[in-house]
């Protein structure tokens, strides 16, 4: 008998599928007008989120800098992880989700320089830890090729909706844990591939950044599905993450338009700086003009923030870039 993963299609799950499908239709209609910069930013958010789940501390600005070939001061392993992820997501359209050779190639690209067993299934046993507690012992290594073949065969032939199949595959992949390392990243990557084969716009929808924000619920959903021998809890969780990500794309937070003066201010910022330091670095003499044309506009659009926001007039007040301001500084672009 062909392998059939254990899952129940509940009413909430079917409602999520209907909602996401409707919203994706709206996004697809706008694809031709979608800003290429927004796609780039979303790809960076995707990679930042997926790596952060695995403990990588690089932020969006640093990964943007790596993408642009700029030097970043960070642990070499984290930089290697980012390089690998950027290359892997770039190759995503070239792979087929049900092709084992593509799965192995993707793992090779994602993990090269990080582990020795790249692009091949693990040779030994592996467990999933939570602190010092083992919460899942993966099947024996000798069973991995058969289990993965069954799963890929199911993925290819199942008549279920791609939204359902992508979640089921993600869970089953994590349960099998086919590689020595990189299973979390690969599971999320392959779900993105399955979704993008259905709707290419999913290459640019940063679901992984939302998973990172709900990391504990992500692991809990996996654990609940394992305990219940039913993948429904994980499907429900993942669909809720996809729904939020899709809803954000329908009504995206638009990067604010900034004036040349604000852009100059962003480019001069280094760490935390006082008003006097910023003004001096910009070589501006008129305090009122600096405040009205540079400082206040940057504050108003959320590109810089005060270090002592509850005391705006404090003599110790300093200013620093927000996360969005850091990204614009690294990109050196006027939105």
Confidence tier at 25 by pLDDT (50, 70, 90): confident
Do 233 and 310 lie in one domain? The reply is no
Position 304 scores a pLDDT of 92
User: Is pLDDT at 166 greater than 50 in this prediction?
Assistant: yes
Do 265 and 235 lie in one domain? The reply is no
User: Is pLDDT at 118 greater than 50 in this prediction?
Assistant: yes
Residue 302 placed within a domain: yes
Domain of 279: which CATH number?
1.10.10.10
What's the average model confidence in pLDDT over 195-221?
Answer: 91
- Which has the higher per-residue pLDDT, 135 or 78? 78
Do 50 and 152 lie in one domain? The reply is yes
Position 189 scores a pLDDT of 97
Position 300 scores a pLDDT of 86
Residue 255 placed within a domain: no
Do 235 and 307 lie in one domain? The reply is no
What's the average model confidence in pLDDT over 207-211?
Answer: 90
Q: Which domain holds residue 136?
A: 11-250
Domain boundary among 215, 250, 285: 250
Do 166 and 78 lie in one domain? The reply is yes
Do 235 and 274 lie in one domain? The reply is no
Domain boundary among 188, 221, 250: 250
Position 74 scores a pLDDT of 93
User: Is pLDDT at 66 greater than 50 in this prediction?
Assistant: yes
Confidence tier at 158 by pLDDT (50, 70, 90): very high
Residue 86 placed within a domain: yes
User: Is pLDDT at 235 greater than 90 in this prediction?
Assistant: yes
User: Is pLDDT at 63 greater than 80 in this prediction?
Assistant: yes
Position 334 scores a pLDDT of 41
Do 226 and 324 lie in one domain? The reply is no
Domain of 170: which CATH number?
1.10.3290.10
Position 204 scores a pLDDT of 85
Residue 1 placed within a domain: no
Do 214 and 282 lie in one domain? The reply is no
Domain boundary among 220, 250, 280: 250
Q: What is the CA radius of gyration of the chain?
A: 23
Do 266 and 221 lie in one domain? The reply is no
Residue 20 placed within a domain: yes
Position 335 scores a pLDDT of 40
Position 134 scores a pLDDT of 73
User: Is pLDDT at 141 greater than 80 in this prediction?
Assistant: yes
Residue 94 placed within a domain: yes
Position 26 scores a pLDDT of 76
Residue 168 placed within a domain: yes
Do 317 and 211 lie in one domain? The reply is no
At 75-97, the pLDDT tens digits run 999 999 999 999 999 999 999 99
At 258-269, the pLDDT tens digits run 788 998 999 999
Confidence tier at 31 by pLDDT (50, 70, 90): low
Do 53 and 101 lie in one domain? The reply is yes
Residue 192 placed within a domain: yes
| Domains: count for the chain | 2
Do 59 and 175 lie in one domain? The reply is yes
């Amino acid at each position: 008998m062909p392998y059939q993963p254990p899952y129940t299609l509940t009413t909430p799950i079917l409602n999520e599928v209907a909602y996401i499908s409707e919203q994706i239709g709206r996004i697809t209609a706008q694809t031709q007008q979608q800003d290429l910069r927004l796609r780039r930013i979303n790809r960076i958010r995707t990679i930042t989120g997926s790596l952060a789940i695995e403990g990588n501390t690089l932020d969006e600005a640093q990964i943007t800098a790596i993408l642009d070939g700029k030097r970043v001061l960070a642990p070499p392993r984290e930089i290697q992880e980012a390089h690998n992820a950027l290359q892997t997501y770039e190759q995503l359209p070239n792979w087929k989700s049900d092709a084992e050779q593509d799965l192995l190639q993707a793992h090779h690209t994602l993990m090269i320089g990080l582990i020795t067993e790249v692009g091949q299934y693990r040779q030994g046993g592996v467990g999933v830890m939570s602190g010092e507690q083992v919460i899942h012992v993966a099947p024996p290594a000798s069973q991995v090729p058969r289990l993965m073949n069954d799963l890929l065969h199911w993925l290819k032939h199942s008549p279920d909706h791609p939204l359902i199949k992508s979640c089921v595959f993600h869970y089953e992949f994590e349960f099998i844990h086919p590689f020595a390392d990189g299973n979390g990243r690969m599971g999320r990557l392959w779900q993105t591939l399955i979704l993008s084969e259905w709707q290419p716009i999913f290459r640019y929808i940063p679901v992984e950044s939302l998973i990172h924000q709900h990391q504990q619920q992500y692991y809990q959903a996996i654990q609940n599905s394992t305990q219940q021998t039913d993948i429904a809890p994980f499907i429900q969780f993942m669909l809720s993450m996809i729904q939020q990500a899709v809803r954000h794309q329908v009504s995206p937070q638009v990067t604010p338009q900034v004036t040349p003066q604000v852009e100059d201010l962003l480019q001069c910022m280094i760490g935390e700086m006082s008003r006097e330091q910023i003004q001096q670095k910009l070589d501006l003499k008129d305090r009122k003009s600096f405040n009205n044309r540079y400082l206040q506009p940057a504050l108003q659009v959320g590109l810089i923030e005060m270090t002592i926001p509850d005391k705006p007039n404090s003599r110790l007040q300093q200013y620093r870039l927000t996360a969005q301001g850091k990204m614009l500084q690294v990109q050196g672009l006027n939105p």
